[in-house]
Amino acid sequence: MTDFDARAISTIRGLAMDAPHAARSGHQGTAMSLAPLAHVLFSRVMNYDSSRPDWMDRDRFVLSAGHASILQYALLHLAGFGLTLDDLKSFRQWGSATPGHPEVGHTAGVEVTTGPLGQGVANMVGMAITEAQLRSRYGAELFDHHVFGICGDGDLSEGISHEAASLAGHLGLGKIVLCYDDNHITIDGETELALTDDAAARFRAYGWDVHELGAVGEDVDALEAGIRSAMAVTDKPSLVIVRTIIGTPATASANTPDAHGYAILDDEIAATKAVMGMPVDETFHVPADVLEEYRARGGRGAAAREDWEARVAAFDGDRATLEAQLGGNGLPGWEDALPSFEPGESIATRKASNAALQALVPLVPGLTGGGADLTGNTGTVIKDEGVFSAANPGGRQIYFGVREHAMGAIANGMALHGGAIPVVGTFLVFADYMRPAVRLAALSQARSIFVWSHDSVGVGEDGPTHQPVEQIASLRAIPGLRVMRPADANETAAAWRVAVASGGPTAMITSRQNLPVLEGTSADGVAQGAYVLREAADAAITLVGTGSEVAVCVEAADRLAELGVVARVVSMPCWELFEAADPAVRASVIPRAIPSLAIEAGVTQGWLRWVDDVVGIDRFGASAPGGTVLKELGIDADDLVARAQALLDD
């Protein structure tokens, strides 16, 4: 260890104590014990240019143990990513660039939003998939980088990490180097209270290369050698296990559960700084020569970046496709490739969704993905582009297996890496398994497309365990998630246009059963969130539907006309887009001057924000043919007509 190494590590540890102490909140001990490991990564190993954090061929760093965020912030400050010392002093405060857990898009140098344990491990798998696809498609001279990460006992305890690690080993993702902080401490006490797994054996069983470095948490040379040994393995992901002592070198709190949180206070901070040879009466101490050397190391990737830019400029392959993929765009004319369907046809929107996806794949080079063992069922088949595997890393069809939780987080990693628009699918009822990743997609504004089919009790005989009733409402409750439930095949194609052209995540919710292709559906109306499908002069009532229930509204309007009641019909495929529309547009679509009645085959929660009354299903479903279940639970034209008449009578 050089003098610079020792002083830099002490500086990081001092910041890891001072920032949480100033905030009276945070996690000191993990950041302190991991300071040597993170220092090795940022100052010796990783290839990056801190002046250009978005350089596409940079190595990625994921702090899956996101509670140790002050560790990453300290390194981003030292390496020159733009974080100031004042930013560190504002740790965890309102409006600061240093929130309690790392947030992508909020702090330069942060690649993914972590915090919920295990998510970062799965994000790494997604990043490595995209790196492999880009390298296969355009060559190693343009794309050849690693994905480094740090995780802890909590990450490896969560089920998502098991799912992600299993898939990564199966796919042979050799660019992953995951460092496991084996400190044997959790919040409740020693890990042995609840965890006696043999992590090394488990990961070897998953097909990983495992490097057990032992108690080298303070030995930077041994850490570097172990990491570089892992980097040399190209056909398997690597796990580097490092035994550390949480909170070291804190004089009293080290190796205790207290060190996991905010426990190292004034006297112990001073005593610990004295042990490290730092000024005991100065907070946020960063020696000028340490900062100068770290900034030099943070910028040493500039030459590699410039060489990469020259290689990109000289690229003589399909430049239009490369630029579209890196920009997250389609090639010219991609929107025109979307299919259209004739009124009178009958097609399930999951099948229409696949037709749209298949039409887009040749013209939107970033589109890639598949399903969680339900690829054909959910319409996430990608034909003629190969299956992603260790032998074929350029394949765009990905089989995730029965791993919904990891699949969602892997998609986020793919999207946030850049160069991919991931599409992942399962049944809507299993969105519950994916919810943490979907929430983080919204928080991160990751451009992930979640396709959820079998969207109602119309699933039928599988019964209430497989019939979603509350899922749509729960997804609409997530800020920043665009929930699309198209009424027919043409609305489905329009929803795909929105998903590909827009930033942030999209929930594409489709039917199992065939639905009629309706007269008057509008792509512009879908992009607006809601629109008048059938206008009527002197209308007495507005009927509003989503998905399969829009056809029910049309039928009910015809029935009401026979009874002398004139009804307008509104299709409302996306609440979020409608909320963003001009208030005058919203007032014209659902005017308050006449009663409005909505129908949706799910819980009624939230609908009264838009309408005066709603027909829905505020209970679980039942096992029977889908049409029977829908009728028995009141999702049909007869019930809608009756409720409309009752509303008019009121």
Contact of 254 with 276, CB cutoff 8 Å:
no
Query: First-to-last CA distance in the chain?
Result: 82
Three-state SS sequence of 107-144: CCCCCCCCCCCCHHHHHHHHHHHHHHHHHHHHCCCCCC
Q: Are the C-beta atoms of residues 91 and 98 closer than 8 Å to each other?
A: yes
Amino acid present at 167: L
Taking phi over 0 as left and psi of -120 to 50 as alpha, with beta for the rest, 48 belongs to: beta
Cβ(494)–Cβ(511) below 8 Å: no
**Alpha-carbon span 599 to 611, nearest angstrom:** 10
CA distance 407 to 401: 9
Number of H helices, E strands in the chain: 26, 17
Task: Fill in the DSSP letter of residue 318.
Answer: -
Q: Are 367 and 447 in contact (CB under 8 A)?
A: no
* Residues ≥6 apart with Cβ < 8 Å to 235: 172, 174, 390
Among residues 111, 163, 268, 404, which one is catalytic? 404
CA angle 41–46–48, rounded 5-degree value: 130
Indicate if the alpha-carbon torsion angle 390, 395, 400, 404 is positive or negative: positive
Half-sphere exposure of 83 (CA within 13 A, CB side): 30
Q: How far is CA 488 from CA 219, 327, 374, 572, 610, in A?
A: 62, 30, 21, 12, 22
CA angle 311/317/323 to nearest 5° reads 75
Residue 404 annotated in active site = yes
Contacts 24+ apart (CB under 8 A), 616-621: 617/457, 617/469, 618/469, 619/469, 620/464, 620/467, 620/469, 621/457, 621/459, 621/463, 621/464, 621/467, 621/469
86, two tokens: 């004042």
List 346's β-bridge partners, or say none: 516
State how far the Cα of 554 lies from the Cα of 570, in Å rounded to an integer. Answer: 9
3-state secondary structure of 553: helix
Residue 493's H or E segment, with its range, is helix 489-501
Q: Which residues are catalytic?
A: 404
